[in-house]
A and B are shown apart, each in its own frame.
Chain A
Amino acid sequence: MNLATINIAAILPSIILSIFGIVVMVAEPFVSASKKTALAWLALAGTIAAMFALIPMADNRGQWYSNLWIVDDYSVFLHFVFLLIAAITILTSADYLRRENMNHPEFYSLLLFATAGMLMMAGSNELMMVFLGLEILSISTYVMAGFRRTDLKSNESALKYFLLGSFSSAFFLYGVALIFGATGSTNLTVIAEALRSPGTSPGLVELAAALMLIALGFKVAVAPFHAWTPDVYEGAPTPVTGFMSVGPKAAGFAVLFRVFLTAFPSIQDRWASAIWVIAALTMVLGNVIAVVQPNIKRMLAYSSIAHAGYVAVALAAVSETGVSAALFYLLAYSLMNLGAFAIVTILGRRGDKFVHLSDYAGLASRRPVIAALLSVFLLSLAGVPGTAGFAGKFFIFRAALESRLIWLAVIGVATTVVSFYYYLYVIVQMYMREPEDEFADVTMPASVKLALVVSVAGTLYLGILPASVLEWTSSAALNALR
């Protein structure tokens, strides 16, 4: 490698995030306890600066650093999504950490590192890089899940996530090793070329692909690798749950699409049918089990499993429209789910006590704005037209039908009907039951307000005028299928 290949602009967002993460960590001891929240704004400034860094990054398209790193519409779009997720998470956590007496700014460092890991996953063109990004993301998230150190459930959540997560990382690494053995490379482009030549043993490659599918399936929580999700989501601090339900999931899908479409097109008919089964199973299990959840965090956990199923449908379509729909859906899902979790956070109040569905009874007559916002997010998750969720599902089902996955589309729309039941049930609680609680101690700090404004505006914008974002995702999809 010579110096000429070093291109700072191509990795500028990751660099900025890492620097800000380190600065927040180093500055922490020097900031008095009452001013710790200022470091949240510093972290927020980091994510926004990284967003601006996307502009020079986008001007440096191509492969860099000995083809380890790739800049194209696909990676830039995902960078944008991940940075948006990080920014909204910071906005919802700032007040939460203060409220829960755990205002340790390491939280923001961890969040920025986790996000940097996600950016690496989006931009890497090489399996070892993917693994590094995956580990940076995972290790930061394990700590964040256990951030309520004195809370047993939070401990359980972190430990469970750590044990199962390490297990799945091992699967991934084993898959990478096998691929290296079969093709002599970990570079996606080289792997694809090697697989096209007749010399490589298909059995070994299929085994490797299966191992990677399992590992990434665990990260994105698709059935049958989803069992960890409800407990981990329930126990983790609510803003972390919100982050985990969108960030690692979107990053996992980013890798899944990139690796399988770039490196494994030659065994496409084998893995596409596996994805078909996974998608169908995930949509059915996630939606059906969500119906009986009395705890809103668990309900949203199962709903997030179901949504992973819809994205998997787009992967099973193996087409440009499929990738485009999946990217659109990841952005839409991130906005609406983070919005919902922001509201669950403020309604949970001290100690995350109020997370039972019946705690939401009569919210609309006491706090009409909060109830209306949560309704928008839930209706979008359910997929009512005019919201991002509908546009996303529509694009996904279109891609599925284009690839003649008729039964998968039918299963998808049928399970959507099931999802209406549990999302509407929350609305029933809020609007149609008498209040038992005055909700007088529910506060809406300005930071959460901003997070909600961003997510509700995004949810409605993507729902009503999806054309421009869809153009972006289509050109990103072309890159992924090069």
Chain B
Amino acid sequence: MDLITSNILTIVAFTPAVGALLLLFYNREHVRSIRAFTLIITILAFVFSLHLVAHFDSTNPDFQFAIRVPWIPSLGIDYSMGVDGISLFLIVLTTLLTPLAALASWSIHDRLKEYFVFMLLLETGMIGVFAALDFFLFYVFWEVMLVPMYFLIGVWGGQRRIYAAIKFVLYTMIGSVLMLVAIIALYIMHGEATGTFTFSYIQIQSAIASGRMVLGPNIELWLFLAFFLAFAVKVPLFPFHTWLPDAHVEAPTAGSVLLAGVLLKMGTYGLVRFNLPLFPEMSHLFAPIISLLAIVGIIYGALVAMVQPDMKKLVAYSSVSHLGFIVLGIFSFTTQGMQGAIYQMLNHGVSTGALFLLVGVIYDRRHTRLIDDFGGLANRMPLYAAFFLIVTLSSIGLPGLNGFVGEFLILLGTFKASYMRAAIAAVGVILSAVYMLWMYQRVIWGEIRNEQNAGLLDLVGRERAMLIPLLILMLWMGMYSNHFLRPMDASVAKLVNQSQARRLEFAAGRDIAR
């Protein structure tokens, strides 16, 4: 048992990679067994990740299930992973969404084996990003994950897939290479300040927090910006968002689900994990500007979503809007805002994941995603209409469903930081109701206008299986939010305290300087 607990993160992260390796030896003609094998592997990873939840100590704000093995000792690089209240559920979200995404891939026939190999590798990369506690290891996962996503979009995507795939990689790369420079700079400065050369996140972070390693304001500014750019592109924060609609629209359904559900969260996770604790002064200094960008993103994303004729593009722009909320919550520096932001990361993964799955369901049947091609689907697909309604309501934050809790906490936290920001952001909540309900109305209600929709089948067993877990989660996270919030408490409180304490110090220092 102890052996399992001490290695559980390795097991969770690398189960999919091992599965991908085994999958290579499958005969490509055996479509059914390839599908079944992938599904089993991803479910296995999910079950293993439940071990994390079951044995997680909610009172402990530090990293748990930690593992640390020297990797490149001469450079102080370790294979080091751990989980705290912030990353715990993000890992479980990843392992939950991947089997559902695999289920949504039944319509893929071309080069199925490679498709699932890439999907499994992607899962390992995503889990690794959330679990890594070594800067080098983090960067490795962060970059390596681009490759399978590039293939998933570029090979199995829609019409303009090549453009979208290259744009996705280049945008992300431009953001992240500067982070690499910043990581090495941190490593060298930590080594020169303390005498220990290490890429360990915990050691470098504590050296900064304790003042053993002092970055001048100038250096801190550049390092902050380098990390921020990498994450802002990934989030994506306005105005770095232009890759997102392309990637989403062109990606296959499973790709969109994982892109929206997990990949975007890496950006917000990075802000929480790296920017805030490593560069608290600059985070506070830039908070007004970043919050402004977040608010612009909220309103802009919502307005653009409203006029989209394509359902997938609509959901993509709604992500820009929703992710703006998350960033706003993070940079409120309040416990509520931070918790709401992390909660909303999970919510967005569940709701938007479900939305993309739903769009995928009718796309598989009709090979179109244009809102105008549908209408009156409730007549032919009552169960689909019901599921769609719950997901829509969850996405716009109806009380009782998950979205409400997150948005409420974020707005509460932001209100404490600034009335103005909260007031403007609240407009975004209204707008999201407008575009979501309007789409729902045009697609589901009314009479069937298009003859081709007259013969549509309702959800089949496989499709129900991939949607029901998410619907249950929406209700569960809406009704019993404490089940999810409590494990975060300790870690979030630690994070907020740290940055607040530093802010007071910073302010005091400024007063003295004056």
Contacts and interface: CB of A to CB of B under 8 A. Distances in A.
Asked if A and B bind, the verdict is yes
Interface of B: 71-75, 111, 114, 136, 139-141, 143-144, 146-147, 150-151, 154-155, 161-162, 165-166, 169-170, 173-174, 177-178, 180-181, 184-185, 187-188
A417 B173 contact: yes
B170 A385 contact: no
B188 A397 contact: no
Contact of A384 (B74, B144, B154, B184): B144
B266 to A, nearest CB: 15
Nearest to A474: B74
Contact of A432 (B143, B161, B178, B181): B161
Contact of A385 (B140, B150, B188): B140
Given A402-B188, A432-B155, A467-B72, A410 B162 contact: no
Given A401-B184, A428-B162, A414 B144 contact: no
Interface residues of A, number: 34
A263 to B, nearest CB: 28
A385 B181 contact: no
Interface in A395-445: 395, 397-398, 401-402, 406, 409-410, 413-414, 416-417, 420-421, 424-425, 427-428, 431-432
B177 A414 contact: yes
A424 B144 contact: no
Contacts of B188: 398, 401-402
Nearest to A467: B72
B73 A467 contact: yes
Nearest to A471: B74
Q: Nearest 8 A-B pairs (CB), nearest first?
A: A413-B177, A385-B140, A467-B72, A417-B173, A385-B143, A432-B154, A385-B144, A401-B184
Nearest to B70: A467
B144 A386 contact: yes
A466 interface: yes
A179 interface: no
Contacts of B161: 432
A15 B155 CA distance: 52
Interface in A146-203: none
Contact of A397 (B143, B165, B170, B181): B181
Nearest to B154: A432
Nearest to B192: A402
18 contacts: A379-B147, A386-B144, A395-B75, A397-B180, A397-B184, A410-B178, A410-B181, A413-B181, A414-B174, A417-B170, A417-B173, A420-B173, A421-B166, A424-B150, A428-B154, A428-B166, A466-B72, A467-B72
A145 interface: no
A140 interface: no
B166 A470 contact: no
A364 B111 CA distance: 10
Nearest to A397: B184
Contacts of A447: none
A358 interface: no
A122 to B, nearest CB: 23
A365 interface: yes
A401 B186 CA distance: 10
Nearest to B137: A385
Contacts of A401: 181, 184-185, 188
Interface of A: 364-365, 368, 379, 384-386, 390, 394-395, 397-398, 401-402, 406, 409-410, 413-414, 416-417, 420-421, 424-425, 427-428, 431-432, 466-467, 470-471, 474
A43 B48 CA distance: 54
A398 B75 contact: yes
Contacts of A471: 74
A385 B136 CA distance: 10
Contact of A421 (B75, B114, B151, B170): B170
B184 A432 contact: no
Given A401-B181, A409-B184, 20 more contacts: A365-B111, A379-B147, A384-B147, A385-B139, A385-B141, A385-B144, A386-B140, A395-B75, A397-B181, A397-B184, A398-B184, A402-B188, A417-B173, A417-B177, A427-B154, A432-B155, A432-B165, A467-B73, A467-B74, A470-B72
A323 B140 CA distance: 24
Nearest to A401: B184
Contacts of B184: 394, 397-398, 401, 409
A468 to B, nearest CB: 10
Contacts of B154: 427-428, 431-432
Contacts of A397: 180-181, 184
Nearest to A425: B166
Nearest to B142: A385
A416 B141 CA distance: 18
B204 to A, nearest CB: 15
Contacts of A385: 139-141, 143-144
Nearest to A372: B114
Contacts of B143: 384-385, 390
Contacts of B185: 401, 406
Contacts of A424: 150, 166, 169
A200 B155 CA distance: 65
Contacts of A420: 169-170, 173
Nearest to B114: A368
A116 B74 CA distance: 33
B247 to A, nearest CB: 15
Contacts of A390: 140, 143
A162 B178 CA distance: 41
B166 A409 contact: no
Contacts of B151: 431
A127 B178 CA distance: 41
B181 A409 contact: yes
Name, among B139, B140, B180, the residue most crowded by chain A CB atoms within 10 Å (CB to CB): B180
A417 B174 CA distance: 6
B394 to A, nearest CB: 35
A431 B155 contact: yes
Contacts of A394: 136, 180, 184
A385 B142 CA distance: 9
Nearest to B166: A424
Contacts of B177: 413-414, 416-417
Name, among A390, A395, A432, A474, the residue most crowded by chain B CB atoms within 10 Å (CB to CB): A432
Contacts of A406: 181, 185
A19 to B, nearest CB: 38
A428 B72 CA distance: 34
Contacts of B187: 398
A394 B151 CA distance: 24
B18 to A, nearest CB: 15
Contacts of A364: 111
A198 to B, nearest CB: 34
B305 to A, nearest CB: 29
Contacts of B150: 424
Nearest to B140: A385
Contacts of A398: 75, 184, 187-188
A75 B425 CA distance: 65
A368 B113 CA distance: 11
Contacts of B146: 384
